[in-house]
Amino acid sequence: MPTAYDLLPNAPKFEFRTLPPTRSLRALGPPSLIGPDGSCRAPTGESEFVGGGIALEMSECDVVQRAGQPDNIDISTGARGERAAVLIYARGERPGIYRFVSGRLVSIERGSEPPAPERPVKKKPAKSKSG
């Protein structure tokens, strides 16, 4: 039976490898997980993330410490039995939907931006009729 390489002899050939992790992440426990009431325990030690932004793989409480208290929290169990949390920020500097699996941020859906202030419309000067 011919393979794809036989049918497309000039196609590039790829070797698939698993890359080693770039850094090790600390194990998550209660200080890193948000409670149903939106509370996080006081941080214990330094965050493994530097800077002021929000990045994938951050813990739930890392995000809350940077973005503030969420407007809505949904904590459940995922299809594989792992913890699943969704934090919704409707306002603030970083509005959006933040999804976590096993306590780590896996996706961010950007929320709607606040409407831009209206600019005053400049009126054109009236044309004078001369004739």
Task: Render pLDDT for 109-121 as a digit per residue (tens, 0 to 9).
Answer: 987 766 667 777 7
Report the domain count for the chain.
1
Residue 62, domain member (yes or no) = yes
Question: pLDDT tens for residues 23-48?
Answer: 566 666 556 888 888 888 766 566 66
Taking all residues of the chain, what is their mean pLDDT, rounded to a whole number?
77
Name the residue with higher pLDDT: 122 or 9.
Answer: 122
Residue 91 placed within a domain: yes
For residue 113, give the H/E element and its range: none
98 assigned to some structural domain:
yes
Does residue 84 lie within any of the structural domains? yes
Q: With bands split at pLDDT 50, 70 and 90, how would you rate the model's confidence at 22?
A: low
Q: Does 107 map to a domain? A: yes
Question: CA 83 to CA 30: how far, in whole Å?
Answer: 12
Residue 100's domain comprises 56-112
Residue 79 lies in a domain: yes
**What one-letter code names the amino acid at 120?**
P
**Residues above pLDDT 70, as percent of the chain:** 64
b/e burial code for range 103-128 (CB count within 10 A of at least 16 → b): bbbeebeebeeeeeeeeeeeeeeeee
Phi, psi of 44, rounded to the nearest 5 degrees: -110, 100
CA 40 to mean position of chain CA atoms: 19
Whether the model clears a pTM of 0.75, i.e. scores above it, the answer is no
